[in-house]
Each structure stands twice: as structure tokens, then as C-alpha cells.
């Protein structure tokens, strides 16, 4: 799968930023902690987190080359005390390092959630907190179903032979079990709907191309990719409300035992 277009994501990711700010409100901080922002993207939420840590520090981590480069530039100007590191959430290079781990819109891009939670609890200090949100079961079901069905038709079917989706949308009970197996306590997990409507066809098309169906477009030559996007956009125009994505978010609060 190709890397993210970090510049476009930085400007288009308003929904993810809004959800992330609400997740931040669930993380109580005294201001002196060391916090990991896992899946920091282009650094916008990392900056906000650093503002809440006048005597502490945030470390932004992402496995994307493009996102890390973009975050480093952004944070150098807007939050110079923040650090960035390239790392995979399922195999973090930290041990008992952080007072808290924050993550927004990232865990569903990590297929092995058992390994993810084991990695996170290892990175946390005893008593450290995990506060996160990601796509949950049923996330973008309408768009995913349309893309899957479209991919079985001509001229797209050839390009999707043997293709598997690079995301995993977990449910509540499976997430609780994996957190418990990793050793977390004080676990709370819940789902919430977050429908997101775009103003017009152009806004919808650009957003889904950058964020939602980027893996699909990677499979297609440019001409077929444009047609694939056009078909999805035409279908979304018929929804009520039009150009609405049926986002569903999985929220996670947990703690490493003291």
C-alpha cells in the first residue's frame, strides 16, 4: 500500500481532528506527564496535547514516512518541545516509558490487536493510562460495501483479484478480551456513531480518495481510479443526507496496573 499524502491529509482531516479533541478530554493530565501520541499523523493533535503539558512532553509516533516528515515540520514550528519517532504500534521500542498513551483514528490500521495491546502496556509505566479511539465494527459499512461490490465489476475486477482489506474494525467484546489478556485493568470500551456529511461532491470525493479508499485506488491505474471514485460519488449523492459517511468509532479507556 502506498504511503499517505500527508499534506492533503493535514488539510482534510477535520473529522478526525474533532473526534481526537473529544478523546483528549477523556485524558486527565496534571501537565507534567510524558505522553505517547500513537498514530500522530501530521501532528495537529500532537500539538494540542503538548499545550496541555507545560511541564511535560509528548512523543508523536507513526509508522508512515510521509506523516513523520510532515509532523516533524509542523511541530518544529507549533510545538517545538514535542518529539517524533517512527514506530509500529504493534512493536513499540519503549518499556515503562510513558504516563499515558493517547491515540485517535489509528488502531484500525493495525491488524493484530493482541500484539498492539501487549506493545502498549509494555510502553506504559505502572499505573499508566490508555485513552484511544479508532474505527469500530460497522465503520463505513455503506462505503465499504459499495467499494467491494464495485470492485467485482468491470473494468475493476481484474485489479482486485486476491486483494484483502488492510484494516480491522474490532467489536467491543473482542477488544475487552484482548485488553484483559494483555494485562490492562479498569477497562471501558464502547461504540458510537459519528456520521459525517460533506458539503458537495468535490469535498466528498477528495476526502474518500485521501482517507477512506486510498488502498482501493492503489490497486487501480489512474483512469480506472478516477472512474471508481466517480461511481462512489454518484452513489453517495443519492444518500439521505447526501455525501454522508457512516463512521462508527470504538472508544477505549484502560490502565496498566500500578
- The pLDDT value recorded for residue 87 is 96
d(CA 99, CA 254): 12
- Judged against a pLDDT cut of 90, whether residue 10 lies above it is answered with no
Retrieve residue 142's grid coordinates.
455503506
Residue 116 in this model has a pLDDT that exceeds 90 = yes
Asked, for residue 43, whether it belongs to a domain, the answer is yes
Q: What percent of the chain has pLDDT over 90?
A: 93
User: Judging by beta carbons within 10 Å of its beta carbon (0-12, 13-18, 19+), is residue 223 exposed, middle or buried?
Assistant: exposed
Q: How many domains does the chain have?
A: 1
**Residue 44 and residue 75: Cα distance in Å, rounded?**
8
Average pLDDT of the segment spanning 97-102? 98
Compute φ and ψ for 246, nearest 5 degrees: -90, 70
User: What pLDDT score does 133 carry?
Assistant: 98
Residue 110 forms part of a structural domain: yes
d(CA 168, CA 170): 6
Mean of the per-residue pLDDT values of the chain: 96
pLDDT given at position 4: 81
CB-based contact 139:195 (threshold 8 Å): no
pLDDT at 11 over 90: no
Non-local CB neighbours of 76 within 8 Å, separated by 6+ positions: none
Higher pLDDT, 238 or 7: 238
DSSP 39-97: T-TTSHHHHHHHHT-TTSEEEEEES-HHHHHHHHHHHHHH-TT-EEEE--GGG-S-SS-
Q: DSSP secondary structure string, 188-205?
A: EEEEEE--EE-SSHHHHH
Q: Which grid coordinates belong to 60?
A: 508523536
- Answer whether residue 46 is part of any domain: yes
Structural domain contains residue 36:
yes
Does residue 228 belong to any structural domain of this protein?
A: no
- Asked if residue 190 is part of any domain, the answer here is yes
Secondary-structure breakdown of the chain: helix, strand, coil percentages, each rounded to the nearest 5: 45, 20, 35
List the domain range (segments joined by +) for residue 182.
Answer: 6-139+167-199+247-255
Residue owning grid cell 490497486: 219
Domain-located, residue 242: no
Mean pLDDT (whole number) for 107-121:
98
pLDDT at 12 over 90: no
pLDDT of 111 over the 80 cut: yes
Asked whether residue 100 is domain-assigned, the answer is yes
For residue range 118-175, list pLDDT tens digits in order.
999 999 999 999 999 999 999 999 999 999 999 999 999 999 999 999 999 999 999 9
Pairing of strands 196-197, 57-62: unpaired
Q: Please say if the pLDDT value at position 6 is more than 80.
A: no
Task: Identify the CATH number of the domain in which residue 16 sits.
Answer: 3.40.50.150
d(Cα 52, Cα 8) in Å, to the nearest integer? 26
DSSP 8-state code for residue 108: G
- pLDDT value, residue 13: 81
For residue 3, pLDDT beyond 80 = no
Amino acid at each position: 500500500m502506498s504511503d499517505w499524502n500527508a499534506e492533503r491529509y493535514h488539510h482534510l482531516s477535520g473529522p478526525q481532528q474533532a473526534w481526537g479533541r473529544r478523546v483528549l478530554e477523556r485524558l486527565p493530565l496534571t501537565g507534567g506527564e510524558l505522553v505517547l501520541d500513537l498514530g500522530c499523523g501530521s501532528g495537529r493533535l500532537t500539538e494540542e496535547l503538548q499545550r496541555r503539558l507545560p511541564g511535560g512532553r509528548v512523543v508523536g509516533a507513526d509508522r508512515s514516512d510521509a506523516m513523520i516528515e510532515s509532523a516533524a515540520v509542523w511541530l518544529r514550528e507549533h510545538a517545538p518541545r514535542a518529539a517524533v519517532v517512527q514506530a509500529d504500534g504493534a512493536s513499540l521500542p519503549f518499556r515503562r516509558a510513558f504516563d499515558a498513551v493517547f491515540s485517535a483514528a489509528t488502531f484500525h490500521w493495525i491488524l493484530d490487536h493482541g500484539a498492539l495491546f501487549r506493545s502498549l502496556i509494555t510502553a506504559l509505566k505502572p499505573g499508566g493510562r490508555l485513552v484511544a479511539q479508532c474505527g469500530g465494527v460497522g465503520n463505513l459499512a455503506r462505503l465499504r460495501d459499495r467499494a467491494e461490490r464495485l470492485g467485482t465489476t468491470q473494468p475493476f475486477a481484474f485489479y482486485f483479484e486476491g486483494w484483502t482489506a488492510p484494516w480491522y474494525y474490532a467489536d467491543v467484546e473482542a477488544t475487552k478480551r484482548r485488553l484483559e489478556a494483555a494485562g490492562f485493568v479498569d477497562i471501558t470500551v464502547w461504540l458510537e456513531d459519528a456520521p459525517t456529511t460533506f458539503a458537495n461532491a468535490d469535498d466528498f470525493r477528495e476526502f474518500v480518495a485521501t482517507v477512506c479508499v486510498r488502498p482501493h485506488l492503489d490497486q487501480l491505474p489512474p483512469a480506472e481510479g478516477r472512474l471508481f471514485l466517480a461511481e462512489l460519488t454518484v452513489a453517495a449523492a443519492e444518500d439521505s443526507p447526501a455525501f454522508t459517511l457512516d463512521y462508527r468509532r470504538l472508544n477505549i479507556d484502560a490502565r496498566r496496573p500500578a
